[in-house]
Structures are given as C-alpha cells and as structure tokens.
Amino acid sequence: MQPLQFAEPASPPAEPLDIPRRSLAGATRRELASALAEIDVPEREIRMRAAQLWHWIYHRGASSFDPMLNVSKHLRARLGERFTLARPEVAAEQISRDGTRKWLIRLAPKDGESRGAEVECVYIPDVDRGTLCVSSQVGCTLTCSFCHTGTQKFVRNLTSQEIISQLIIAREQLGDFPCQAPPEGAPVLSDGSRLISNIVFMGMGEPLYNYESVREALAVMADGDGLSVSKRRITVSTAGVTPRMEELGRETGAMLAISLHAVRDELRDRLVPLNKKYPIKDLLQACRTYPGASNARRITFEYVMLKGINDSPAEARELVRLLKGVPAKINLIPFNPWPGAPYECSDWPTIERFSDIVFNAGYASPVRTPRGRDILAACGQLKSETEKLRARALLSVDP
Ligand code: SAH
C-alpha cells in the first residue's frame, strides 16, 4: 500500500527552539492522538497515524522515528521536532547468580524535581515463563513493618507512561521485541516465545493508590496490536485497598493478588497498617465479589513467613478457614531479610508444615523460591540497594 502523503508546505513552519521535546515512548492511544493533533495532523488522519506509531513503538520497539518508513518523511520530521521516543535511563543493571535481573531506572525529572526519581524493575526468568515485576510508585505510603520499601519515604506516583516504560526498557534490554536482535548475553527461550510472558505489579508502591495510571498502563501492556501481554498473565498485587478492587476487576480484567500475611486483625494491623482501615473481613468480602474470579482464575494470597510471628500450624488452619468460598491459591513467601529488619525468616520445617496444612485442605500452596536475593531484587528488598550503591559511590570518590 502506498503511504499517504501530506501536502508539503512550501517551507516548514518555524518552531520556537526553546520547547523541550517530549517522549512518546509509553504513551497511551489518546496521548498519541493528541500529540499528532499538536503538530497539525488533520483530524481525519489521526486514527491511522496513531495506529502506525503504535505499531512501531509497541510492536516493533522503535526508539526513534527514523525507521518508520510507512510514515511520510515530512511527518517524521515534524514528529522529530517536537517529540522523541527516548526511554528513561537505565542507571544500573545487576544480574543475579540465578539469572534474575534488576534495573535501576532513572526517570526524567518532573516539574519541580531537581533530579529524576528512581525506581526498580526486576526480571525473573523461569523454566516456563518470564516475569517482569514493575513498580507503580516511587517509594510507598503503606509502611508495612516487614517490607524494606515501606521504610523509604513516598516520593510520588508514577505516570502510566513511566509504568509502561519499564516494560519497554525490559524488552529492549532482553532483546524481546520481535524485530530486534537480542543483545549479547541475553537469555533465550528454547521454544522461541517471548521472554517476558507475565507481569506482576509487585515492585515498589501500592498500585491501587495509583489506580488511574495503573489502569491505563495495563490497557497498553495488554493491547494485542502492541506489547500483547495477555491480561490473564498480568497480576496486580494489593495490600488491600478494598474500595478499588471491584473497579480493578471490572475495568481491567487483571488477575488479583492480596498481601494477606496474617489471619488476625490484631497481628495484621501491625504487619500491614492499612488493615486498620480495611480489616480482614472487609478484604475477604471484596475478594468474594472480585469480578472475574473463578476456579480457573483464582486470587493469589501472599503470605510472608515470619519466624514465630505468623507461622504456627493454628494459623495455617485459620487461613484455610478464612478462605472458604474464595477461589484462592496461596503463595507462601519466605521472608527476605534486609539490614535492620525486625523479623527473621521461618525455618524450613516450619514452612513445610504450614504448607502441608494448606495443601491438605485442597489449596495449591507453592512456596515462592526467593529469587535474586544476592542483588536485593527479591520481594520487599527493592530500592534499598539504590541507596547503598549511592553510599558506595560516595565512599569511592577520591578525597
Ligand atoms: N503494595 C502492594 C505491592 C507490593 S507487592 C502489595 O502490598 O501487595 C510486594 C510483595 O512482597 C507483597 O506481597 C509484600 O507483602 C511482599 N514483601 C514485602 N517485603 C517482603 C520481604 N521482606 N520478604 C518477603 N516478601 C515481602
């Protein structure tokens, strides 16, 4: 098909030079359409042009307008004057002995920020899947007592563009866009499938406290003409913001995970202070009515194993009782220690005993193998290394 051409104006309109160019990597369809309108693409062409950009950005992984040969040269030049496809900077990459990769991502500074905020994003390769763990906020407001991210102060919500950029960066780092040659040292799956098959919102932050951006990001990530991650393989984990759960299920169709960690309010109040606002009973009620939950699409209950705190057989039995009537699976997470943490991980026989009780009651109860602990990439360890690295960098400066 012949690409549509613009009538070329005699001389391109002069642009004020002081407008900083804006990146469209991670933009939603609506944002792409308004970018095109800004550079005076006629209304009747916008849909088609937005679809072209979409394909290049999200399906092919283009990082500039240059390769977009089905877009007229004139339009490419206009796009390039005002926009870029720059990604946030990968400030550091660490690769664990087990193949887990953690990227420290430096975002472009937002209005009023003297420097870009940083978030972490983790890729966890497995035999039958590759999971990308993304962040939804810089820092977190929840102060869960066992979570290292919770000890760092909340900075701000991520925009949908910044959330989506984490997937773009990961695909690029792994050579996981279909038309891209994998960079040296990148892992390859033997069946040739995508390296990133699953996404979990289990990085820094509480996704349901940044719901609008998470919803928009999810739609872009799941779009079949672009990044194409199946909704059934996208899981949003929440500490239990019950008023938002129904909306999440109805509007996004994402899978749900609940950070439960305790079976009594008195203990959960201490571990997950949000419980004081939304106690266990309300949380489980919201789970019973979560749109789309079924035996084929179960809700995951995450339960961190803390020595002598929440790991007794009585608590395992109570957990089973509580989850009656909820299509659930239970994910036991060995506690990942961090410097100064007031807890220890339960010992292995205790975890096994707990897991057996849950399993014998008919629940799948896989124990989550800690991944990437050596690079502090495991659950609840994010962001910490960032500060350490910085401290180390400061120490290594010659006096
Ligand atoms: N705020 C959301 C998303 C974060 S998910 C939520 O709470 O669900 C991160 C998961 O790791 C949560 O289940 C969290 O409870 C768990 N986690 C946090 N710190 C941990 C630690 N030190 N060891 C193991 N799991 C931890």
**Are 121 and 103 in contact, with CB atoms under 8 Å apart?**
yes
Ligand 1 within 6 A of CB of 209: no
Does residue 169 line the site of ligand 1, with CB under 6 A?
no
**pLDDT for res 181:** 65
Residue 353, SS3 per DSSP: helix
The pair of structure tokens assigned to 136 is: 């939804």
Cα torsion 293, 296, 300, 301 to 10°: value is 80
pLDDT in tens, 240-277: 999 999 999 999 999 999 999 999 999 999 999 999 99
Domain-by-domain residue ranges, the chain? 22-84, 89-395
The span from the CA of 224 to the CA of 245, in Å, is 24
**Residue 338, token pair as written in the block:** 């961090």
Model confidence at 109: pLDDT above 70: yes
Q: Is the CB of 206 under 6 A from ligand 1?
A: yes
Kind of pairing, strands 83-84 and 22-23? parallel
Closest ligand 1 atom number to CA of residue 259: 13
* Closest ligand 1 atom number to CA of residue 257: 8
**Over the stretch 172-192, which tens digit does the pLDDT of each residue have?**
999 888 766 666 666 665 555
Q: Are 335 and 304 in contact (CB under 8 A)?
A: yes
Q: What is the DSSP string of 245-268?
A: HHHHHHHH--EEEEE---SSHHHH
Residues with catalytic annotation?
120, 379
Nearest to 170 by CA among 187, 157, 154: 187
Give the distance (Å) from ligand 1 centre to CA of residue 379: 5
Could you give the 3-state DSSP secondary structure of residue 207?
helix
Helix ranges, the chain (H): 29-38, 43-54, 73-82, 160-174, 211-222, 242-252, 265-271, 280-288, 313-322, 348-360, 384-395
Token pair, residue 130, equals: 């590759």
How high does pLDDT run on average in the chain?
88
Q: Which CATH superfamily is domain 89-395 in?
A: Aldolase class I (3.20.20.70)
The pTM (predicted TM-score) of the whole model is 0.89
Domain 22-84 is of which CATH architecture? Answer: Orthogonal Bundle (1.10)
Task: Tell me the CA–centroid distance for residue 55 and ligand 1, in Å.
Answer: 35
Tokens of 94: 């660490």
For ligand 1, atom 24, name the residue with the nearest CA: 335
Tens-digit pLDDT profile for residues 296-329: 999 999 999 999 999 999 999 999 999 998 999 9
